[in-house]
Amino acid sequence: MQQSILKEPIVIAENLSVSFLIQRHGINNFKDFVITMGVKSPFEKKNVLKGLDLTIYKGECFGVMGRNGSGKSTFLRTIAGIMKPDEGKLTVKGRVAPLMALGVGLEPELTGMENIKLVGTLIGFEKTELNASLQAIIDFSELTADEINMQVKRYSSGMMARLAFSIAVATDPDILIIDEALAVGDMGFRNKCAKRIDEIKAAGSTIIYVSHHLEEIKKICTRACYLEHGRVEMIGDVNEVCDYYEHQVIRKKA
């Protein structure tokens, strides 16, 4: 049964290239901007993903690893629709629930309650579905009534993680993206999150997990890839890829 599930692609990247603009040098005011633009652009294009080819299958737990700047988060943000490809093709089948790096997707000026409604709508909740899930989201987050009605900019890192995770896992998504988002919060809540991930996994959802903690990837995932400079360096069994990645990191540090 598991083999038939794994044969159905849910995320397909074909020659995928993604870039974004970075500021070349400091601009303090509009005058600096105008003067600089008259000489040369203050921005430069940074190519992050470079012809990436990768397929992730329905129902699997897939790990993504690599050094900082290797393109991990850019790949996940492209799957989530936050970034757009420059070249190539990305096919994503089903609803994506992104649990990105701390704070991404939350609007700091809005309250926790307003963020639940905003983020829930953005990730595809129907109005009736969101209303039905509202109390469950608040209960799972363990935030008090005062906290849920407070502006998110006043939240601690742990409170933001609780809110973001609770929204993302309110229902079983087709694809759950987790990008270094479980490294904060107390042990009790982290265990609660791990249990919920297991439930989503058992329901047949696809989980794409990024972490620098290889033991966590080995525990959650069955298959993984190692990204290097925006390309797939290795893909396959999670233990083999983790061992290869660890060897590469140690070798280059030596």
Instruction: Write out pLDDT tens, residues 119-149.
Output: 888 888 888 988 999 999 999 999 999 999 9
- pTM score, whole prediction: 0.80
Q: Domain of residue 234: give its range.
A: 1-35+44-94+209-254
Domain membership of residue 233 (yes or no) is yes
Class of residue 3 by CB neighbours under 10 A (exposed 0-12, middle 13-18, buried 19+):
exposed
Domain membership of residue 157 (yes or no) is no
Domain membership of residue 184 (yes or no) is no
Q: What is the DSSP letter of 105?
A: T
Domain membership of residue 63 (yes or no) is yes
Instruction: Write out pLDDT tens, residues 53-107.
Output: 999 999 999 999 999 889 998 999 999 888 899 999 999 999 898 877 555 678 9
Instruction: Write out pLDDT tens, residues 173-203.
Output: 899 998 876 655 677 887 888 888 889 989 9
Residue 194: the pLDDT is 82
Number of structural domains, the chain?
1
Amino acid in the structure at residue 24:
R
Q: Is 196 helix (H, G, I), strand (E, B) or coil?
A: helix
- Evaluated on CA atoms 14, 10, 163, 180, the torsion sign reads negative
Percent residues over pLDDT 90 in the chain? 51
CA 214 to CA 219: how far, in whole Å? 9
Domain of residue 51, CATH code: 3.40.50.300
| Segment (H or E) for 244 | helix 238-253
Q: Which residue has the tokens 């953005």?
A: 122
Domain membership of residue 74 (yes or no) is yes
> Which of 36-67 are b and which e, b meaning 16 or more Cβ less than 10 Å from the residue's Cβ?
beeeeebeeeeebbbebebebbbbbbbbbbbb
Q: Is the pLDDT of residue 39 over 90?
A: no
Residue 4: the pLDDT is 42
Domain membership of residue 119 (yes or no) is no
